[in-house]
């Protein structure tokens, strides 16, 4: 059987079988998400998107969510469009991501049935299910963070200008879509010199940052210029990225039991979020196993380190500024980063089985643990799906 080579030099299977597996995984996930969404609607539970963003398109709390706002403006051009269209978009995006995950696993040597099983376990994880059916942009944030990690792996393996530009473009897309992405981008930026093994001087490091961060700077500057054309003050446009509490209202802070405990305490938040990620996404342990047993993983460690550390570190920084209302999005980012790492790594058969088993353990823990169900809306959501 013929094989091809990826940028990391790992053998991959022909594309045909991978495409079939990915297509079936995506279709199955989309059908499952749709059934769940219809079940929630049948019990009068509707997505928790921001209603003011849909009705006005420019509420004060929407600062920086440029991609989401532009998308909603386009949807308003469709006659009769209703907010439930947002759920259809997140269902499609999540299903595509799961299909791509199954596709990449087969390309990495996984048998199709095992790749389909792993994709199915991701599909039924309560965090993935919540993102896919919510109609909120959080689903897109997690998918973009996963794509960013995949591009980081490519940059670590190749280190050429093209891979660095791709990384920079994804950073720009994440920055203009999600103001809180700054907490994710800052620790990621610190890993870039480690990923670029050809750095031998300060000038090389400077060039690395210029190429990687310039697209984000250009994108944000263009938005600021566009805002000035519509008589939006330049300072107001940049405030959503510069202010420590960009977009977080006092009512949000007071309504969050998690912030009441961990707001302003980054070390305690880091410990808590790390423990939550390990319990609800225990497949992270396979990354540690690979570091201990695989020389190739130790030779290119940055993607694995990023998958392990970026979500809880980003959450700890956000909690220090009281900008994180709860741990769910951070654990969802950990899920996305772990899936991205697995998509770029060639696992041995025993490791792939361990990864799959731990995905199942994480899904069971997610449904059983009380940590994910801290608000009345989350409790009602779980009760509808669990009891019906």
What is the mean predicted confidence (pLDDT) over 247-269? 75
User: pLDDT (tens digit, 9 = 90+) per residue, 316-333?
Assistant: 998 888 888 788 899 999
User: Which whole-number Å values give the CA distances from 180 to 65, 174, 177, 247, 261, in the listed order?
Assistant: 10, 9, 9, 9, 20
Question: Which pLDDT value is given to residue 48?
Answer: 56
Question: Which pLDDT value is given to residue 250?
Answer: 64
User: What's the predicted TM-score (pTM) here?
Assistant: 0.85
What is the mean predicted confidence (pLDDT) over 35-46? 84
Q: Is the predicted pLDDT of residue 44 greater than 50, yes or no? A: yes
Cβ atoms of 338 and 283 closer than 8 Å: yes
Question: Domain tally for the chain?
Answer: 1
User: pLDDT (tens digit, 9 = 90+) per residue, 113-151?
Assistant: 999 999 999 999 999 999 998 888 888 889 999 999 999
Question: Which pLDDT value is given to residue 165?
Answer: 82
Question: Which pLDDT value is given to residue 121?
Answer: 96
For 180, the domain range is 4-387
Helices 202-229, 234-242: axis angle to 10 degrees equals 130
Question: Which pLDDT value is given to residue 244?
Answer: 47
């Amino acid at each position: 059987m013929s094989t091809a080579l990826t940028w990391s030099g790992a053998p991959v299977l022909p594309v045909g079988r991978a495409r079939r597996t990915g297509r079936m995984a995506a279709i199955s996930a989309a059908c499952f998400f749709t059934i769940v969404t219809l079940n929630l609607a049948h019990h009068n539970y509707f997505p928790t998107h921001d209603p003011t963003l849909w009705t006005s398109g420019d509420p004060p709390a929407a600062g920086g969510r440029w991609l989401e706002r532009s998308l909603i403006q386009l949807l308003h051009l469709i006659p009769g469009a209703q907010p439930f269209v947002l759920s259809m978009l997140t269902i499609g995006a999540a299903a595509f991501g799961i299909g791509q995950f199954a596709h990449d696993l087969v390309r990495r040597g996984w048998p199709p049935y095992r790749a389909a099983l792993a994709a199915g376990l991701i599909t039924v994880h309560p965090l993935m299910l919540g993102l896919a059916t919510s109609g909120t942009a959080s689903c897109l944030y997690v998918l973009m963070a996963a794509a960013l990690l995949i591009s980081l792996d490519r940059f670590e393996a190749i280190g050429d200008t093209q891979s660095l530009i791709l990384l920079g473009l994804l950073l720009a897309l994440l920055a203009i879509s999600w103001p809180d992405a700054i907490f994710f981008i800052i620790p990621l930026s610190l890993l870039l010199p480690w990923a670029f093994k050809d750095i031998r001087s300060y000038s090389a490091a400077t060039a690395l940052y210029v190429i990687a961060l310039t697209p984000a700077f250009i994108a944000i500057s263009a938005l600021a210029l566009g805002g000035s054309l519509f008589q939006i003050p330049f300072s107001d446009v940049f405030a959503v990225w510069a202010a420590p509490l960009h977009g977080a209202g006092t009512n949000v802070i007071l309504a969050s039991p998690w912030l009441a405990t961990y707001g302003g305490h980054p070390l305690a938040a880091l410990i808590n979020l790390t423990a939550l990620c390990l319990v609800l996404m225990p497949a992270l342990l396979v990354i540690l196993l690979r570091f201990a047993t695989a020389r190739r993983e130790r030779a290119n460690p940055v993607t694995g380190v990023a998958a392990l550390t970026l979500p809880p570190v980003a959450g700890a920084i956000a909690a220090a500024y009281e900008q994180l209302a709860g741990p769910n999005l951070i654990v969802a980012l950990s899920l996305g980063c772990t899936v991205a790492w697995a998509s770029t790594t060639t696992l041995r058969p025993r490791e792939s089985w361990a990864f799959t088993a731990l995905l199942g353990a994480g899904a069971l823990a997610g449904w059983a643990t009380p940590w994910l169900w801290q608000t009345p809306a989350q409790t009602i959501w779980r009760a509808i799906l669990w009891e019906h």
